[in-house]
Amino acid sequence: MSRENNSSDVEWYFRENPERERFYEIFFAMCRKHNIKWENADEEQKALIEKFTWEAFENEHKNNDYA
Q: Which residues contact 27 (CB under 8 A, 6 or more apart)?
A: 49, 53
Q: Which residues contact 19 (CB under 8 A, 6 or more apart)?
A: 61, 66
pTM above 0.75, yes or no: no
23-44 tens-digit pLDDT = 999 999 999 999 999 999 999 9
Q: What is the DSSP string of 1-62?
A: --HHHHHHHHHHHHS--HHHHHHHHHHHHHHHHTT--GGG--HHHHHHHHHHHHHHHHHHHH
Q: Give the model's pLDDT for residue 1.
A: 40
Q: Helices 18-33 & 43-63, crossing angle to 10 degrees?
A: 130
Q: Give the model's pLDDT for residue 20.
A: 85
Whether the per-residue pLDDT at 13 is higher than 70: the answer is no
